[in-house]
């Protein structure tokens, strides 16, 4: 990244609850896959963001968890609010209603949507591993 380029705040979107049947271990695996993209983005000079990094503490502070009905009022709205501040979305593979909604919102707002980490500006192919 050159000095004239600003770091991008990039929402990493992909499956979290989808396909897990509510299994906490599978959700943790999904979160780990989302988080694996954080380092290459950061190393390239960007600021990675994952909606669950905000939503899960919000839920806990309300005395709820992802299996609580309150989760529907927190998980998707958090991502929508974050997208008001984000510069781009990195959509990772896998079926996910929430991630698809993130892409829709990003496109409505004219934000770039990347489907491969190596397509994000300043991420070198070797960094994407």
Q: What is the pTM of this model?
A: 0.91
Domains of the chain: 9-123 (3.40.50.10400)
**Helix (H/G/I), strand (E/B), else coil: 11:** strand
Read off the tokens for 71.
């989760």
Q: Tens digit of pLDDT for each residue in 8-30?
A: 999 999 999 999 999 999 999 99
Q: pLDDT confidence of 5, banded at 50, 70, 90?
A: confident
Asked if residue 44 lies in contact with residue 120, where contact means CB atoms within 8 angstroms, the answer is yes
Helix crossing, 75-83 with 51-61: angle to 10°?
130
């Amino acid at each position: 990244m050159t000095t004239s380029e600003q770091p991008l705040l990039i929402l990493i979107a992909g499956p979290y609850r989808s396909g897990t049947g509510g299994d906490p271990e599978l959700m943790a695996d999904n979160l780990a896959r989302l988080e694996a993209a954080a380092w290459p983005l950061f190393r390239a000079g960007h600021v990675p963001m994952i909606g669950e990094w905000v939503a899960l503490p919000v839920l806990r502070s309300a005395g709820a968890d992802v299996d609580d009905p309150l989760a529907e009022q927190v998980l998707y709205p958090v991502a929508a609010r974050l997208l008001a501040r984000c510069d781009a979305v990195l959509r990772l593979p896998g079926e996910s209603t929430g991630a698809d909604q993130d892409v829709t919102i990003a496109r409505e707002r004219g934000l770039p949507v990347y489907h491969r980490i190596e397509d994000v500006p300043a991420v070198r192919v070797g960094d994407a591993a």
